[in-house]
Structure 1
Amino acid sequence: MQRALGIIADDFTGALMVAGYLEGAGIHCPVLFRPEGEIPPAAVVMAGTRTRTVPVAEALAELGRFTDAFLRAGCRRVAYKACATFDSTEDGNIGPAADYLADRAGQRPVLMSAGFPRFGTTVHQGYMFYRGRLVSESIKRFDPLTPMSDPDLVRFLGRQTPHRIALLNHAALRSGTDAARTAIEAFAAEGMGHVFLDTTDDGDVETAAEVAASMDRVVVASDPLIIAYATRLGRAMRPGTMPAPRHVDGPTAVLAGSVGPIVLAQLAAFSAEHPCLSLDLLDPAEEEGLVSTALDWAARRIGTAPLAISTATGPEGVAAVQAAFGRVEAARRAERILGAIAKGLCDRGVRRFVVAGGETSGAVVDALGITAVRALPDGPLGTGFCVSTGPVPLSLYLKPGKLGADDILLRAVKAMNQGSAR
């Protein structure tokens, strides 16, 4: 069948966020985690990858596999979804992904946009603000893999690509779609490789989506533009609707690998009502020993109440673990441990997983062997709920580590118990 759009997300939680919004808008959007196999019929299809923090060559190889799969499946366009704060290093991987898709499509400039006004992340005059502060002065500066130290995204992204980047600012976007298209065409005539669009408010997003849908340009953007863009393209194909799935019955476990004060507050609220085990990544035990300890602890509790297992820590703890293992290996150690724990919990009958952290979510999904899911529509807790489509169905709630109120883990468990996330 002919499809309007294939979207490749740089992590799993972001893929589910977009799919959940589209499902809520009546646009069926299956989420795939591997490019092999048949792609379900839908006007818009989504891929969840782990391209945000892996080496550039590895990220581009994964991007290429999904691009090939989507083009074979009849997608007219392919877009790349990055996180709202464009988390990345000076090497990539957003710039390299944009260059790769532009080369595949044979056209420039690429339209780029960051931010998510609904959650307090905005971009004005090319500068990013997170919850009212420059991103470089926010908690994002403590991110263990992608600390955001430069709020000027045009300048920052310019270190990731050899192509020049132009800025289409808030004032230009307020002038309307015709003026914005004219400006982009002028930038193209000047040889610009990319055009970065402000996201000062939702009005900027709507104008950018109208422009993107009407122009034959590659789009590399965060959630709001991707959602608005995909909604326009998906509705134009008049897709049919599908009933939302229901959650799977069975015991529930929470796994948290994100770091920082937000997830620690969420774990504190959860542990006030349910058992919670915190693992120390500096424990001299080998990874297998930590996994075995966690599974032995969990085995005595599975089925009696929801439980949580965490490697989360604050800035001082992160610094100590990184000093011992290195920045990347510290994160990968936590992911391997929680992935192995997830597999062990599933083998012991757990059928519902609440996971905090984008990279942790990827590790858990990989460890559980999940290849595709159906996202539930946006609801009171936002997005992130899904049901796997494999031989052993599982319910999952995958959330970014730095989003959500203190009680979100408790509310996610309750929503699963009630059988619906809405």
Structure 2
Amino acid sequence: MSVRFAVIADDFTGGLFVASNLEKIGIPALYVCDPGILPSIGDQGVVVVATRLRFMPPAEAVATLDSLTVSLDAIGTEHIFYKYCSTFDSTDEGNIGPCADFLIGKYDQSRLVFGPGYPDLRTYVHEGYMFYKDRLISESIKRFDPISPMNDPDMARVLQRQTAEKVGLLPHRVLHRGSTVAHDYVRDQQDKGVRYFLMDCVDNDDVALGAVIFGGDRVTTGADALAIELASRWEKRQLARQDRPMPLRGQGGEAVLVGSCSEVTLRQRDHFALSNPVLDIDIREAEADALTDRALEWARRRLDAGRAIGFSVAGDPDAVTRAQSMFGVMGAARKAEAILAGIARGLAEKGVRKFVVSGGESSGAIVQALGIQSMQVLAFDELGAGSCISQDDRRISLFLKPGKIGAEDVFSAALEKMRA
């Protein structure tokens, strides 16, 4: 039993981006939601393991990563890629730094690459400064993120606050000169005590050269672009393009669950509500169980009518601030996720088999609540990433998306795709 390339994704939607893009170019990627099944997966090329590492307390995140790497090592994994958000979403306490410190120590590496950015989605890093949609990230909508507001555009500085290791920069001006110059530069920086290399990501050429320089390391870290490039290089050495048949889809009710509070998601929710019933839930009104029960009773009458329905715990910035003042930043987020997860579990018991979910953390909570162990990921298409089907007898179809992406009509379009 062996795995050539394992991606440990720090949230569920990020892992889907990697898997769906690999599927698009004909490289199968097993998407694992429950690490407990790893000993039984057999030989695999690429495995993507979805976790909720991003916002765990740092000590819990490291312990979770420790357990997961033990399982991956036991099945003969050759390369481990620790995948985080392309915009380096994290707090000053972690978890990117603490998880990286654990990995470089466990595998006794002399260096570790960090590759945030995703040029195809207009997320760039130049001289260590991140740009999101052509603005410094500190001037973009990312500065309003309710859990990890990105107010510092210097990614090397952000990482340095999370680790005692010396952080250096591998800039575009060096990468642009080719592999020989870049290799020499990295070696020179290592001689000066640099162990962590924050890599520029101005274009896909930077990503490709980074994969050449660091691809032989036992462990690498980065965002979607570097993960896809490295995994595809590993697999292209092993097999030709594969086209897999479309998996069987589940048949049953349809629901949209909205956890993200981004402006993009709020517009998508409002568009869906123009032609479908949507229940807005104020998490301050009652305990989570009571709000869940109330939502499921509301759903029962509408499901009987055969309608697609929606549930939203997302609010405008003022509503988010009020909820956070009552429960704390993470407390508000976890209560909202618990409500949506409870609703999803109850809906599945009532025969719902098509779920659209907005929000990375909400997606993780809902997939875990549904008891899904692994999924087949569908290829990246006009909807983007996020389409997947559970590999169990229920055949639950899901579309899991980050909050800040997608067209205004993406919820309805995703459900329509599930009906095809």
Query: TM class, shorter-chain normalised?
Result: over 0.9
AA in 2 matched with 1:14: G
Match of 1:394 in 2: 396
What is the Cα deviation at residue 3 of structure 1?
Answer: 2.7
The amino acid that maps onto 1:245 is: P
Match status 1:288 vs 2:289:
yes
**Native 8 Å contact 2:250 2:394 kept in 1:** no
Aligned-partner Cα distance in 1 for 2:274–2:323: 26
Determine the C-alpha separation between the residues in 2 that align with 1:178 and 1:225: 20
Report the counterpart of residue 231 of structure 2 in structure 1: 230
Report what 1:245 is aligned to. Answer: 247
List aligned pairs for 1:1-400, cutoff 5 A.
1-37=1-37, 38-213=40-215, 215-216=216-217, 218-238=219-239, 241=242, 242-283=244-285, 285-302=286-303, 304-400=306-402
SS of 2:184's partner is: helix
User: In the aligned structure 1, how far is the partner of 2:245 from the partner of 2:43?
Assistant: 15
SS in 2 for 1:378: coil
SS at match of 2:209: helix
Q: Secondary structure at the match of 1:43?
A: strand
Structure 2 equivalent of residue 413 of structure 1: 415
Q: Match of 2:147, as an amino acid? A: L
Note the C-alpha offset of 1:188: 2.1
Q: What amino acid does structure 2 have at the position aligned with 1:362? A: G
Identity of aligned residues (%): 42
Which moved further from structure 2: 81-90 or 139-148? 139-148
In structure 2, do the counterparts of structure 1 residues 40 and 16 end up closer, same or farther at CA, with 3 Å as the change threshold? farther
Unaligned residue ranges in structure 1 (runs of 5+): none
TM-score, normalisation: structure 1: 0.96
CA distance in 2, matches of 1:211, 1:146: 31
Q: Deviations over 1:178-199 (max 9, x none)?
A: 2222222222222212111001
- 1:363: how far off? 0.7
Write the distance in 1 (CA, Å) between the matches of 2:116 and 2:8: 15
1:303-335 CA-partner distances (Å, limit 9, x unpaired) = 622111010112111111101111110000000
Cα distance between partner residues in 2 of 1:40 and 1:84: 30
* Structure 2 spans left out of the alignment, 5+ residues: none
Distance in 2 (CA, whole Å) between partners of 1:179 and 1:314 is: 49
Aligned-partner residue type, residue 292 of structure 1: D
1 CA distance for matches of 2:270 and 2:22? Answer: 32
In the alignment of these two chains, the number of paired residues is 416
Superposition deviation, residue 165 in structure 1 = 0.8
Cα pair 2:32 2:49 within 8 Å, conserved = yes
1:21 and 1:40 map into 2 onto residues whose CA distance is 23
Q: Identify which range, 338-347 or 27-36, moves more after superposition.
A: 27-36
Question: Aligned-pair distance for 1:227?
Answer: 0.5
Output one character per residue of 1:3-52: Cα deviation in whole Å (capped at 9) or x when no partner.
32111000000111101111111111111122212124321111000000
